[in-house]
Amino acid sequence: MSAVMLIAASLASNTPARAADVAEFTLDNGMQVVVVPDHRAPVVTHMVWYRVGSADEQAGKSGIAHFLEHLMFKGTEKHPVGEFSQVVGKLGGQENAFTSQDYTAYFQRVAKEHLGRVMEFEADRMTGLVLTDEVVLPERDVVLEERRMRTDNDPAAQLSEASQAAMFVNHPYGHPIIGWEDEIRDLNREDALAFYKRFYTPNNAILVVAGDVEPDEVKKLADATYGKVERRAETAPRERPQEPTPRAERRLVLADPRVGQPSLSRAYLVPSYRMDKPDSVALDVLAQVLGGGSTGRLYRTLVVDKGLAANAGAWYQSTALDATRFGVSVSPRPAVTMEALETALDEAIGTLAKDGPDAGELERAKTRLVAEAIYAQDNQATLARIYGAALTTGSTAEDVKIWPDMVKQVTAEQVRDVARRYLVPARAVTSELRQVAPQPTNPQPASQPEKRS
């Protein structure tokens, strides 16, 4: 999965012919537009991205960005609740939305002739949202169920949430996108509308259209729809409290009777692509060298050669406005202690930081990353996401285009150097998911067989 994450997290693109096709322009009201033509099928992916995410929430209101994303489906003055979705459905379209730390995005995928129609609706809800408690309160329960499903039902997810909170001691990346449970419970209609009025305005939004359409056509439709929406707020620079230089290694343990397979994961504080392009691209290569599937250094060392781990991987979240995370994770085989596995993990990382990757590893990593940029072009929705995520995290379309060339230029020394500087204990949060024997409420062994998998 690290490959998938890399592709989503980093950026794609170019065989030269197609990169040249990407068009960018700005509407009079400040809304940015990116068009990615792909004429292989008569469909388009239409997305509107807002430069606002969970890291832009005020203290005490965690989860409001995501809650508002849900509420954006509750209708406007012009189009009452359900109408937009009903129309998209009748047109044979698919729709959804998602929220991250740095952005919130809404999309529809439709036959190309319906592009103008969904643009009208999406432009309307940029400023026309109407909310009543009748729709807000059940939706808050839906979000609480979403939180239970994603996090509260799963000890590994709870540990991951705690790890993020431990990593970011000053930056709002420390709170979960979905919000802390107690704060979600207190969110209300007024909170949602205040957040909406502050951040949902054309000058804070990016339109991304990928698929069977030409830039001229998108320009015409955008002028007639989004172009008519008035700015209603000025956007302030996105300056969040930054992380201080970390000084102390942090360790977390979560022990739970539900844990069947122990694991150890570690995240390091590292720069994002926006903050430091050369370092970031070297970290992309490092993640691939360490965690690139069955040929990655961690898998080869810990799983194949030493037989200590059942699994091992690495990942890097390059797409972020501010300082971000590089992670490694391992699961021990049954007879192996976590201490022994962690020692071997430290050795593997230490060796790489000392000697760098060998020529074969470096070449494989770069080949894979560049190929993934080409594979990404096979999917218009993937491309739209890559551009939207880049532009809402302080990068440009040009940055997306040059990424494969930057990968090709990464040297073994650069990879060694970023490993040496960033994969150090003081920058790390190490999280251990541990098994504990269940507390028998009923000491009779009769219930035991059910615990088996």
- Among all residues, which ones are annotated catalytic? 69
Distances (CA, A) of 298 to 302, 361, 425: 6, 12, 18
Of the pair 27, 209, the CB lying nearest other proteins is at 209
Q: Please, which residue, 277 or 300, has the CB nearer to other proteins?
A: 300
Q: Tell me whether residue 27 or residue 44 sits nearer to other proteins (CB atom).
A: 44
Q: Which among 80-88, 189-197, 247-255, 339-347 is the span making contact with other proteins, rule CB under 8 A?
A: 80-88
Distance, CA of 330 to CA of 338 (rounded, Å): 10
- Using CB under 8 A as the binding rule, whether residue 137 contacts other proteins is answered as yes
Q: Out of 16, 138, 237, 443, which residue is the one contacting other proteins (CB under 8 A)? A: 138
Q: What's the min distance (Å) between Cβ of 256 and other proteins?
A: 9
DSSP 303: I
DSSP 76: B
Q: Which of 371, 366, 363, 357 is nearest to 297 (CA)?
A: 357
Short-list 62, 326, 320, CA closest to 175: 62
Contact flag: residue 34 with other proteins (CB under 8 A): no
Cα gap 246→164, rounded to integer Å:
14
Q: Is 5 in the site for other proteins (CB under 8 A)?
A: yes
Tell me how far, at minimum, the Cβ of 260 lies from other proteins, in Å.
4
Binding residue for other proteins, selected from 317, 395, 414, 430, defined by CB under 8 A: 317
Of 27 and 309, nearer to other proteins (C-beta) is 309
- Taking contact as CB under 8 A, which single stretch among the options 94-102, 340-348, 403-411, 419-427 is the one that binds other proteins? 94-102
Binding-residue total with other proteins (CB under 8 A)? 114
314 binding other proteins? (CB under 8 A):
yes
Looking at residue 368, its amino acid is R
Interface pick for other proteins out of 26, 42, 60, 346 (rule CB under 8 A): 42
Site for other proteins, residues 164 to 203, rule: CB under 8 A? 177-178
Of positions 35, 43, 123, 131, contacts other proteins by CB under 8 A: 43
Residues in 383-412 that interact with other proteins by CB under 8 A: 385, 389
Considering only residues 336 to 355 of the shown chain, the ones binding other proteins according to CB under 8 A are none
**Rounded distance between C-alpha atoms, residue 273 and residue 322, angstroms:** 9
Q: What own/partner pairs with CB < 8 Å and gap ≥ 24 does 22-26 have?
A: 22/387, 22/397, 22/401, 23/215, 23/218, 24/397, 25/215, 25/219
Stretch of 8-16, 241-249, 345-353, 417-425 contacting other proteins, by CB under 8 A: 8-16
Q: Is 20 in the site for other proteins (CB under 8 A)?
A: no
Residue 208 makes contact with other proteins by CB under 8 A:
no
Q: What angle do CA 114, 119, 120 make, to 5 degrees?
A: 100
Tokens 């998998």 -> residue: 453
What are residue 172's DSSP bridge partners?
Answer: none
Contact between 70 and other proteins (CB under 8 A)? yes
Find the binding residues for other proteins in span 283-302 (CB under 8 A).
291-295, 299-300
Site for other proteins in 261-280 (CB under 8 A): 261, 263, 265
Q: How far is CA 69 from the centre of its chain?
A: 16
CA distances from 328 to 151, 292, 317, 323 (A): 20, 11, 12, 17
Shortest CA distance to 44 belongs to which of 107, 99, 97? Answer: 107
Taking the complex as a whole, the smallest distance from the CB of residue 254 to other proteins amounts, in Å, to 14
Q: Which two tokens stand for residue 13?
A: 């693109």
End-to-end CA distance of the chain: 24
Q: Which span (21-29, 242-250, 356-364, 419-427) binds other proteins, by CB under 8 A?
A: 356-364
DSSP 85: H
| Residue of the chain from 201, 204, 301, 319 that contacts other proteins (CB under 8 A) | 319
If binding is defined by CB under 8 A, does position 452 make contact with other proteins?
Answer: yes
Among 216, 347, 378, 405, binds other proteins (CB under 8 A): 378
Instruction: Report, in Å, the least distance between residue 258 CB and other proteins.
Output: 4
Closer residue to other proteins in complex, CB, 27/292: 292
Triad 349, 350, 356: Cα angle to 5°: 80
Q: Are 2 and 312 in contact (CB under 8 A)?
A: no
Q: Can you say whether residue 16 is alpha, beta or left, with left for phi > 0 and alpha for psi between -120 and 50 degrees?
A: alpha
Tell me: does residue 379 bind other proteins (CB under 8 A). Answer: yes
69 contacts other proteins (rule: CB under 8 A)? yes
Measured between alpha carbons, how far is 399 from 401 in angstroms, rounded to an integer? 5
